[in-house]
Structure 1
Amino acid sequence: MPYEVQGVVSRAKGEPVSLETVIVPDPGPGEAVVAIKACGVCHTDLHYREGGINDEFPFLLGHEAAGYVEQVGEGVTDVEPGDFVVLNWRAVCGTCRACKKGKPWYCFSTFNASQPMTLADGTPLSPALGIGAFMEKTLVHSGQCTKVDPSAEPAVVGLLGCGVMAGIGAAMNTGAVSRGDSVAVIGCGGVGDAAIAGAHLAGATTIIAVDMDDAKLEWAKEFGATATLNTRGKSHDEVVEAVQELTGSFGADVVIDAVGRPETWKQAFYARDLAGTVVLVGVPTPDMRLDDMPLIDFFARGGSLKSSWYGDCLPSRDFPMLVDLYQQGRLPLDKFVTERIAVDGVEQAFARMHKGDVLRSVVVFD
């Protein structure tokens, strides 16, 4: 029998979200209904509300979630009712050309639930990243459910579902940070701080946090930053020179751009060592362009220029490992949680996000 729950819906571009009745169908083949215990308020949800993803309104928001599998559909064997799971938005298919090459983190045919969730009047909803978890129950493809240690706190480990995994993976998977490396991270919000945590976990010895906000730079120290650089009022050259000074005059082995703007990407490009690596994990808008970059500089500096998709993660591999590291006290995932809120507080959480007052607000369900 379908479930009737209250969910956070974005009906039109730029308009405040509303709490509305949502109909969640029984799971069909390959699907699962998950009882959500907690869901982080991610900047991607705000992008949906602002029309920055697409215009398929109305959207059902929320995607950084953890909870318990409540019901599964026909043919589901990887999870069963009662399993504690973190939801992911890249359920790999196993059969596309990337999966067949042994690189499932690049899967080109990821799964979502086939059935729509709807408003009470039957209007189909577009769930954020195929999840839609600002409500007590949601419908997903079973491959979007990753089993983790059930003793972990949902409000903490659910953040692996998007931003925290994107940052940790940008350092550990995409950037391949290793012991003794020097790393600079530009942009110290949730994703940037997660990249710092990932670099620290991987054994980097110099980790430079780069931002325009002193409060964010202080936060970055809690995740492993060994040096901070406030770029407010500094020119491009001054930023590059400051990173070089902090790395023996050479530049960092890996520079991670967690902002995703042309100016920050250029800073990352020139602030790295020769043959160093640049990782772009901040998401640019479609109108952004790179200008005045001499092609000879790309050739002469060598190295790697990479984009990080979801931290190039494989949820079945990475989520349980990172939850275990958190449980062992080796990964401070709990420090990302700034506040716990009720489901009717999402719009206010967006406002605090705009002001830079929080790393993560997390909606918690009893």
Structure 2
Amino acid sequence: MVIKSRAVVAAGRGQPVEVVSIEVPEPGPGEVLVRVQACGVCHTDLHYREGGIGDDFPFLLGHEAAGVVEATGPGVTEVVEDDFVVLNWRAVCGTCRACSRGRPWYCFDTGKAEQPMVMGDGTVLSPALGIGAFSERTLVHAGQCTKVDPAARPAVVALLGCGVMAGAGAAINTAQVSRGDSVAVIGCGGVGDGSIMGARLAGASRIIAVDTDPTKLKWAEEFGATHTVNAREVDAVSGIKSLTGGYGADVVIDAVGRPETFQQAFYARDLAGTAVLVGVPTPEWELQLPLIDVFARGGAIKSSWYGDCLPSRDFPVLADLYLQGRLPLEKFVTEEIALDQVEEAFARMERGEVLRSVVVF
């Protein structure tokens, strides 16, 4: 049996998205049908619409989601019907060279549903990050479903599925921020604020938020930033050093992903400090650094892909911390919207008016 679902589709590069009826198949082996309850509007979805992640149009957008398992296919043991889950785009295989070495957060062969979701005329859809959750229902790989406490509000914990986890994981997993560390975060959107929240959770003593937007700097303070630097008024590197005794921060996280912001992260860290790239660059951007500076300054330069997270390990813990009142995930939700308001949400996101719009079904 085929399930009809209303969904947001990007038909072509740069075109406004549309709400259309799609067809979702019953789950096959290893697959799960999820009734989506909430899905965040992420910059990645806008990149898909603009053709920045490929040309496999039409795209079924949405990936930062939470919902309830409606049905499971043969062989599925991870979840059962009625489980409350957060969706992820790292369904680890368990057998690749990374998984076999005990590093599944680097899995090189992540899974997704085999059966396609299609338009009414049979056109195959490309689901964003293998999820496609701007839809009343979606079909995913069983490993893309992570059970969390059903007491958590879907519109809040849905954000663990991408941006918040990427940011928090950059601080906790990739940079391994320790108690007493000084941390600077360049770029205070959803991922940057997730990094600030993660650094605070890890016990950082000084957390410096860097942005050019005063509103975003104010948001950063709500997530735990102890100091702010307006990079439109002050050189970012000088600003960070002035707040760290002239040395630079132990950890600097670039949540923007531009060559100039990563150069700032590199030079704003202390000797033997760590620079982490979690903002996603475009393919044409290139970084130039004097090799002698890389050698002389020591420390580490790291990239953080999805916050180096393991969803089965990290999502439940962060959801529990939220329920305990120790993690202010609700502050990420600027507004809750309907499915047909995604295009307007993209515009508000580009204007910097929201931290996260969340589609609620």
User: Do the structures match in fold with TM over 0.5?
Assistant: yes
Show the 5 A alignment for 1:204-215: 204-215=204-215
Q: Pairwise CA RMSD of aligned residues? A: 0.6
Task: Give the whole-Å Cα distance in 2 for the aligned partners of 1:52 and 1:205.
Answer: 38
Task: Give the whole-Å Cα distance in 2 for the aligned partners of 1:323 and 1:290.
Answer: 36
Equivalent residue for 2:96? 96
Equivalent residue for 2:266? 269
Secondary structure, counterpart of 1:228 in structure 2 = strand
The one-letter code of the counterpart of 1:341 is I
Equivalent residue for 1:65? 65
Task: Give the whole-Å Cα distance in 1 for the aligned partners of 2:68 and 2:260.
Answer: 43
Task: Give the whole-Å Cα distance in 2 for the aligned partners of 1:65 and 1:343.
Answer: 13
Shift of 1:239: 2.1
Task: Give the whole-Å Cα distance in 1 for the aligned partners of 2:64 and 2:292.
Answer: 41
The one-letter code of the counterpart of 1:194 is G
Which ranges in structure 1 are unaligned for 5 or more consecutive residues?
Answer: none
Task: Give the whole-Å Cα distance in 1 for the aligned partners of 2:164 and 2:347.
Answer: 20
- Please report the TM-score for the alignment, with normalisation by the length of structure 2: 0.99
Q: Are 1:159 and 2:184 matched, yes or no? A: no
Task: Give the whole-Å Cα distance in 2 for the aligned partners of 1:290 and 1:166.
Answer: 22
Secondary structure, counterpart of 2:159 in structure 1 = helix
Q: After superposition, what is the alpha-carbon deviation per residue over 1:88-107, rounded to whole angstroms, capped at 9, x for unaligned?
A: 00100000000001000000
Secondary structure, counterpart of 2:353 in structure 1 = coil
Task: Give the whole-Å Cα distance in 1 for the aligned partners of 2:28 and 2:15.
Answer: 33
Q: After superposition, what is the alpha-carbon deviation per residue over 1:274-315, rounded to whole angstroms, capped at 9, x for unaligned?
A: 000000000011110123x21100000000000000000000
Show the 5 A alignment for 1:6-21: 6-21=6-21
The one-letter code of the counterpart of 1:219 is W
Equivalent residue for 1:285? 282
Same amino acid, percent of matched pairs: 72
Q: Are 1:246 and 2:243 matched, yes or no? A: yes
Equivalent residue for 1:258? 255
Task: Give the whole-Å Cα distance in 2 for the aligned partners of 1:87 and 1:35.
Answer: 11
Q: After superposition, what is the alpha-carbon deviation per residue over 1:223-270, rounded to whole angstroms, capped at 9, x for unaligned?
A: 000000001154xxx321211110111100000000000110000000
Structure 1 residue aligned with 2:294, among 290, 298, 308?
A: 298
- Please report the TM-score for the alignment, with normalisation by the length of structure 1: 0.98
Task: Give the whole-Å Cα distance in 2 for the aligned partners of 1:352 and 1:7.
Answer: 20
Equivalent residue for 2:308? 312
Shift of 1:119: 0.1
Equivalent residue for 2:193? 193
Task: Give the whole-Å Cα distance in 1 for the aligned partners of 2:287 and 2:81.
Answer: 49
Q: After superposition, what is the alpha-carbon deviation per residue over 1:36-91, rounded to whole angstroms, capped at 9, x for unaligned?
A: 00000000000000000000000000000000000000000110000000000010
Give 4+ residue runs of structure 1 displaced > 2 Å after superposition: none
Count the aligned residue pairs. Answer: 361
Task: Give the whole-Å Cα distance in 2 for the aligned partners of 1:33 and 1:65.
Answer: 13
Task: Give the whole-Å Cα distance in 2 for the aligned partners of 1:178 and 1:143.
Answer: 31
The one-letter code of the counterpart of 1:29 is P
Task: Give the whole-Å Cα distance in 1 for the aligned partners of 2:159 and 2:64.
Answer: 5
Task: Give the whole-Å Cα distance in 2 for the aligned partners of 1:260 and 1:37.
Answer: 31
Shift of 1:324: 0.3
Q: Are 1:23 and 2:3 matched, yes or no? A: no
The one-letter code of the counterpart of 1:71 is A
Equivalent residue for 1:364? 360
